[in-house]
Amino acid sequence: MPQVEPPDAGAPACDCDVLVIGGGPGGSTMAALLAQQGWRVVLLEKAHHPRFHIGESLLPANVELFERLGVRDAVDRIGLPKWGVEFVSPQHRHRSLVEFGDAWDKGMPMAWQVRRSALDEILFRHAADCGALALEGCRASEVVFDADGAQVQAAQDDGTPRRWRARYVVDASGRDTLLASQLGIKHRHPRHNSAAVFGHFRGARRLAGPRLEGNISIFWFEHGWFWFIPLADGSTSVGATCWPHYLKSRDKPLKDFFLDTIALAPALAERLREAELIDDRVHATGNFSYAAGRPCGQRWLLLGDAYTFIDPVFSSGVYLAMANAYAGAELVAATLGPSARAAAAARRRYAAHARRGPRAFAWFIFRMTNPVMRELFMHPKNVLRSKEAVLSVLAGDVYGRSPIGPSLLFFKAVYLLGMLGRWRASFAAWRRRRALIRDVGAIPGENVLAPPPP
Q: How far apart are the C-alpha atoms of 43 and 319, rounded to whole Å?
A: 20
pLDDT of residue 439: 58
Start-end of CATH 3.30.9.100 domains in the chain: 80-113+195-285+367-454
Among 80-94, 271-285, 382-396, 427-441, the least confident range: 427-441
Q: Look up residue 347 and give its amino acid.
A: R
Is residue 86 classed exposed, middle or buried when 0-12, 13-18 and 19+ CB atoms within 10 A define those classes?
Answer: middle
pLDDT digit string, tens, across residues 34-56: 999 999 999 999 999 999 988 99
pLDDT of residue 428: 83
**Model pLDDT, residue 454:** 29
With H, G, I as helix, E, B as strand and everything else as coil, classify residue 402.
coil
Provide the CATH number for the domain formed by 80-113+195-285+367-454 in this structure. Answer: 3.30.9.100
Delimit the CATH 3.50.50.60 region(s) of the chain: 14-53+61-69+116-188+291-361
Mind giving me the DSSP string for 95-159?
A: EEEEEGGGSS-TT---EEE--HHHHHHHHHHHHHHTT-EEEESEEEEEEEEETTEEEEEEEETTS
> What global pTM score does this model have?
0.91
- CATH dotted code for 14-53+61-69+116-188+291-361: 3.50.50.60
117-164 pLDDT, tens digit each: 999 999 999 999 999 999 999 999 999 999 889 999 999 999 999 999
- Mean of per-residue pLDDT scores for the chain: 91
Residue 168 host element (H or E) = strand 161-171
Pairing of strands 95-99, 80-82: unpaired
* Measured distance CA(93)–CA(136) in Å, rounded: 50
User: Residue 192: what pLDDT?
Assistant: 73
Indicate the pLDDT class of residue 288, thresholds 50, 70 and 90.
low
Q: Please write the tens of the pLDDT for every residue from 54-108.
A: 899 999 999 999 999 999 999 999 999 999 999 999 999 999 999 999 999 999 9
